[in-house]
Structure 1
Amino acid sequence: MKVLTVIGARPQFIKAATVSNKIRKDGNSEILVHTGQHYDNNMSDIFFEELAIPKPDYNLSIGSSSHGHQTGSMLIALEEIYLKEKPDMVLVYGDTNSTLAGSLCASKLLIPVAHVEAGLRSFNKVMPEEQNRILTDHISDLLFAPTLTAVNNLKNENVTKGVHNTGDVMYDAINLFKERAKEISTINEKLDLSPDSYILSTIHRAENTDNIERLTSIISALSNSGKKIILPLHPRTKKFIEEYNLHVGENIEIIDPVGYLDMISLQENAKKIVTDSGGVQKEAYFLKKPCITMRDETEWVETVDNGWNVIVGSDSNKILDALDNFNPTGTPASAFGNGDTSSIITDIIGKYIG
């Protein structure tokens, strides 16, 4: 079989690391297309190197721009590649503009689409990610849902054909790479960080960065927490902190974005994690770290239901209270499969293509 995989952003590189390697290990052909949605080294190239992801056959180098311009540019470039390569199936991940462009282009050309992480819903259509995931799910032929909740979300939208509860490829990735992180990553030594001595934070969602009130409230809470905060700073967040002229407390140590192995190490040694990232919420859960989510909702309701994630929005008081008092007990329940999702997905694609 010949699968064409479209990726473009950090979380997709991590997910593809497990599935792409499995596809190729089984002797199948894969064409890997990188849209360039994340384009600097710390957000892109380093992930291919660390995770041994095959070098992309095509790098579209589209970069950052408005949603319409970025998605349209991807559609134009992908159509030419699809017509040239004639894949049996197009494989997309998650909820980015790369996901939407990859699936929409394939659907228009009558090429079957497989969507990894299907069925996630925040029920907030203001989010571009929510729009992308809904549209992608409704034009996909194979929908790989990571949880039973995701399956039920699809069922509620009358999407039942081609739906498979496969588990979560991010769980595969953590299991595969956390030991390598212990062997290779030196980030904690470089930053002189001892275990449980700091809070790890990430902020990148447009709903927080593009809103001066929300970002001001978040930075204020972190700055006034009295705790050591390690903040790998996303380029978008850096831009708006400077544009809004926000004061960042001396307790916050800003570092450049890091690779996946360094990120695992930072998460595994943190006391708590405070984030607006969907992927980091899950990684915290898999690594048994208390997670404080700076959003008004989450797609990963299992992490909240099992008591290891708390939703605080951008409310300074709620953030500060959680930093002080949120301390889960017990062991996170297994809600994301058994760590063999990549094999399950590859087998289903193989049977579908025949």
Structure 2
Amino acid sequence: MLRKVLYITGTRADYGLMHNALELLDNDENIQLEVAVTGMHLMEEFGYSLDEVKKDNFNLHVIDQTFLKDDEQSMSSFIGNLICDLTQLMGEINPDIVLLLGDRGEMLAGAIVASYLQIPVAHIHGGDVSSTVDDSARHAITKLSNIHFAATEKSASRIKQMGENPDNVFVVGAPGLDSIIKIKDNIDETYLREKYNIAKDFILVLQHPVSLEVEDSANQIKQTLDAVTSTDYQVLLVYPNADAGGRAMIEKINEYDVDAYKNIPHDDFIGLLGLASALIGNSSSGIIESSSFKLPVINIGTRQAGREKAENVIDVDYDSNEILNALNNIKSDDYQDKLNNCINPYGDGKAGENICKILNELDINDDLLNKKFFELE
């Protein structure tokens, strides 16, 4: 009998990170993959990435819930409405396992629903620390989950510190690296330069609003744009996510002469990481995927403050002068030595294989569902 796995996706980011793993699950003869699509995927102003998802021909379930406004109340209402819709969906398709990644509200909603319906939850990237309010959601999802796919040993240790069963904590690596292993040696530079009108050396900018700094979002992206537009680099910018503060950032972005994209297909984005002179912003891509390309990263602000980082990452504040100084510093001999010797702490690009194998072999029983608190020895 096929094991039915439901993955919930709410953004282009989580879907891109999980793409390779989802393909493996979909092609596994013992697994029936179902994908629930909602949130930012359905928003035209953020690129309507549902069209990209449809190309993969997975068994899709579209849940028509989006962020109506650019504020915290809209985010909270979205999560509440999504809980209702996911309750109906899970009742209809009756998954054996609900698979989630990260710390976003869509994932928290999925974990709450599955927990109350007594469906095991498998959570990817639990135990990570970003030192923002998002950690609260991530750790809440961990406590609602039954199977834990940690990206690193440190993250696995934190999960165990939260009282989770060590036998259900697996270090699998970061699934975002899987696609890189497949793509990095086959980047079509000519195609990408023509498609994105890249005429010279360029930098990528990907910056999102921060939960506790929403009112500062516009000024934060202004500091970044003031810095990058004062250089000779061409600037390719990808829109921020749809969280509170995102629309204010977009309004500010529209005041600058940069090549701004609502959405870039995941394979294209990976290819651009391999060609760029630097990545600037606060995306987890700068922390997790970038070092596989030996790509200079200028990480701005607090959003990724607690993450494990390779030597290619330079941390700066929301200040145009600091950003510009860091951009100049990437050419120094000292930084280039660090860059050339940096090692990615997030695995070997086989997370999808590991996840697929574990989900195949997992014994779903009462012990898995009836969670106990495990004291540290």
Provide, for residues 214-266 of structure 1, a one-character-per-residue CA deviation record: whole Å limited to 9, x for no partner. Answer: 23322322333454322233475773256569852x4x333443211221232
Unmatched segments (≥5 aa) in structure 2: 69-73, 365-377
Name the CA distance, whole Å, in 2 between partners of 1:121 and 1:245. 29
Equivalent residue, structure 1, for 2:163: 158
Equivalent residue, structure 1, for 2:198: 193
> Root-mean-square deviation (CA), in Å?
2.7
Provide the secondary structure at the position in 1 that maps to 2:25. helix
2:145 counterpart of 1:135:
no
Name the CA distance, whole Å, in 2 between partners of 1:300 and 1:347. 30
Provide, for residues 81-102 of structure 1, a one-character-per-residue CA deviation record: whole Å limited to 9, x for no partner. Answer: 1112121111111111111111
Unmatched segments (≥5 aa) in structure 1: none
Q: Residues 272 and 289 of structure 1 are in contact (CA less than 8 Å); yes or no, is this contact kept in structure 2?
A: yes
**Could you tell me which amino acid in structure 2 is paired with residue 20 of structure 1?**
L
Larger RCO (CA under 8 A, 6+ residues apart):
2
**Could you tell me which amino acid in structure 1 is paired with residue 18 of structure 2?**
A
Name the CA distance, whole Å, in 1 between partners of 2:100 and 2:61. 15
1:33 pairs, out of 11, 33, 36, with 36
Provide the secondary structure at the position in 2 that maps to 1:174. helix
Equivalent residue, structure 1, for 2:22: 20
Provide the secondary structure at the position in 2 that maps to 1:132. helix
TM-score (norm 2): 0.82
Mapping of residues 295-334 of structure 1, within 5 Å: 295-296=301-302, 298=304, 301-303=307-309, 306-326=310-330, 327-329=335-337, 330-334=340-344
**Could you tell me which amino acid in structure 1 is paired with residue 39 of structure 2?**
G
2:123 counterpart of 1:115:
yes
Equivalent residue, structure 2, for 1:269: 275
Q: Residues 240 and 249 of structure 2 are in contact (CA less than 8 Å); yes or no, is this contact kept in structure 1?
A: no
Task: State the Cα distance separating 1:164 from its structure 2 match.
Answer: 0.9
Once structures 1 and 2 are overlaid, which stretch shifts more, 101-110 or 158-167? 158-167
Q: Residues 181 and 261 of structure 1 are in contact (CA less than 8 Å); yes or no, is this contact kept in structure 2?
A: no
Equivalent residue, structure 2, for 1:148: 153
1:342 pairs, out of 347, 352, 367, with 352
2:95 counterpart of 1:87:
yes
Name the CA distance, whole Å, in 1 between partners of 2:131 and 2:196. 39
**Could you tell me which amino acid in structure 1 is paired with residue 9 of structure 2?**
I
Task: State the Cα distance separating 1:170 from its structure 2 match.
Answer: 0.7
Task: State the Cα distance separating 1:43 from its structure 2 match.
Answer: 4.8
**Could you tell me which amino acid in structure 2 is paired with residue 113 of structure 1?**
V
Task: State the Cα distance separating 1:159 from its structure 2 match.
Answer: 3.2
1:284 pairs, out of 280, 290, 299, with 290
Name the CA distance, whole Å, in 1 between partners of 2:180 and 2:132. 28
Task: State the Cα distance separating 1:16 from its structure 2 match.
Answer: 2.9
Q: Residues 234 and 257 of structure 1 are in contact (CA less than 8 Å); yes or no, is this contact kept in structure 2?
A: no
Provide, for residues 290-316 of structure 1, a one-character-per-residue CA deviation record: whole Å limited to 9, x for no partner. Answer: 01111225267332xx31111113122
Name the CA distance, whole Å, in 1 between partners of 2:282 and 2:128. 16
**Could you tell me which amino acid in structure 1 is paired with residue 207 of structure 2?**
I
Name the CA distance, whole Å, in 1 between partners of 2:214 and 2:226. 14
Once structures 1 and 2 are overlaid, which stretch shifts more, 72-81 or 263-272? 263-272
**Could you tell me which amino acid in structure 2 is paired with residue 172 of structure 1?**
D
Q: Residues 291 and 343 of structure 2 are in contact (CA less than 8 Å); yes or no, is this contact kept in structure 1?
A: no
Once structures 1 and 2 are overlaid, which stretch shifts more, 286-295 or 206-215? 206-215
**Could you tell me which amino acid in structure 2 is paired with residue 164 of structure 1?**
F
TM-score (norm 1): 0.87
2:175 counterpart of 1:169:
yes
Q: Given the superposition, is the C-alpha separation of residues 233 and 189 from structure 1 closer, same or farther in structure 2, using an over 3 Å criterion?
A: same
Name the CA distance, whole Å, in 1 between partners of 2:303 and 2:18. 26
Once structures 1 and 2 are overlaid, which stretch shifts more, 16-25 or 75-84? 16-25
Tell me the matched-pair count.
343
2:221 pairs, out of 211, 215, 225, with 215
- % same residue: 22
